[in-house]
Structure 1
Amino acid sequence: MEGRYFELNPKHVLGEVINPRSRRWGVRGTFTGLPLLEERPLCSACQLKPVRGVPLGPGVPADPDVSAELQGALQLGARVGRFLVLRGRDDHARVVQLWPELITAIQDFQRSQAVQRAGGNPWKWAELRELAERRRLVDAQHLLNAFAPEDGSLNPAIAEPPDLSPKFSGPADDIVGQATELFKAQRRLRLDQLAEFHRDRGGALDGAGILAALLAADWCLDGARWDEVLPARPTSPARTSGTATTARASAPCRATSRLRARSDSSCRRSSL
């Protein structure tokens, strides 16, 4: 994918390049196979979603009198508002993913010249307060509410890092539901990590029982040491049947491949 195949494999040439009189290029030789697979590290923070632009939202006015500094502040306020909404909804996975970049952006805002001119307190930035109080722009209000009016200190709901441990309210023996919540939060899952999570919630399954339950639900072994599990297809929001939560998985890892999962690569991802 990086376009460096022959740079990394200079001796792996299919044959001799020839150019006959017909002016059609060709290769003469014997194909002996592709080089050994070198798997790339799995991105634990990536989620495949449609790419969409970030709208300015109703809080950003089409007003030439609004400075570039205020425009940037309003866009930051929109991000703060979205973050607080997700935190209020207890959308753990997205809150964990959004917080590091948001807190960095807020810290940069605190160090900006406009805030420093206001003594380090955004509430003392007169132009920003006018947008929030007189013109009642929602994004300006969201940004100011992220700080204490007295001293400009950051609201604990934003300043404190979110709890990294996923929340699970299902039955203690719902190992598939627990695995789904962990995988949704961090995009990869080790068996020992799942076992600890299961025990902390009162579950009684041992390692063999956990693995058997996941394989029966079309999960697959993965990882260089076969110590990770992943669903046959990326999980979508879990669906509930009665009191048990089950993960949506597709058919690629069937009974045959599950039985030989430790010696066969049929359940593994390929990075080709």
Structure 2
Amino acid sequence: MFVDSHCHLDRLDLTPYDGSLAAAIAAAKDAGVHKLLCIGIDMQNAAAVIDIARQFEGISASVGVHPMDVGDQLADMNELRTLASAPEVVAIGETGLDYFYTKDSAALQKESFRQHLQLSKSLRKPVVVHTREARADTIEIIKQYGDPAVAGVLHCFTESWEMASQALDLNYYISFSGIVTFKNAAELKEVAKKVPLDRLLIETDSPYLAPVPFRGKKNEPKYVVEVAKCIADLRGLALEEIAEITLNNYNNLFFNKD
């Protein structure tokens, strides 16, 4: 059984499935992908991801405000707390810092990230962290405001081994997307070889970043198997072993926080 630990089911291109999300999810399950985490990115789509999680077996949700969606005003954290308290919600985020696209809003991003980490600690639900070109600030804020007992995951990881190591020391997991399958991802492949197996996750981040051999196409959860294949090859393990390891890690991170 495979897990897609980060996907945006409300944003999938459903054209191949005649507009049916149920059919896209069925295709994933036919490929062996039976657990999915549907990620919230702002206050507007929170209800949608929770509703998807309620409709389909094996799907859970996260709610939060992506750093590129912070804008010029912070979210109402009382409203976010209410949404995050739903039983279908197993994580807070995605949150974090993005200085590649939106460095001009860095101050608000930092405050939003701090608030998400505090909510994570309060509700004992792990955080899903987006980080790009903000290595030092991301780690520093997690150190100051995160709870290692609850922890979280650096999703769609594309950073250095140094950053991965620092996050691992804070009890975080590292998740690899289709980017690890790209030919120009040599440094990232080396990181994927080093991450301890008990902290390793896989994801699609669909509909973005489709893995090889589907690069350039719209991504979808069933393609997480290609990420698993790449990691298995890099680690010299059987595909079934990576499937079992990442499923166990997913369950440990998101469902064993009581």
TM-score by length of 2: 0.23
Q: In terms of Rg, which structure is larger? A: 1
Structure with greater strand share of residues: 2
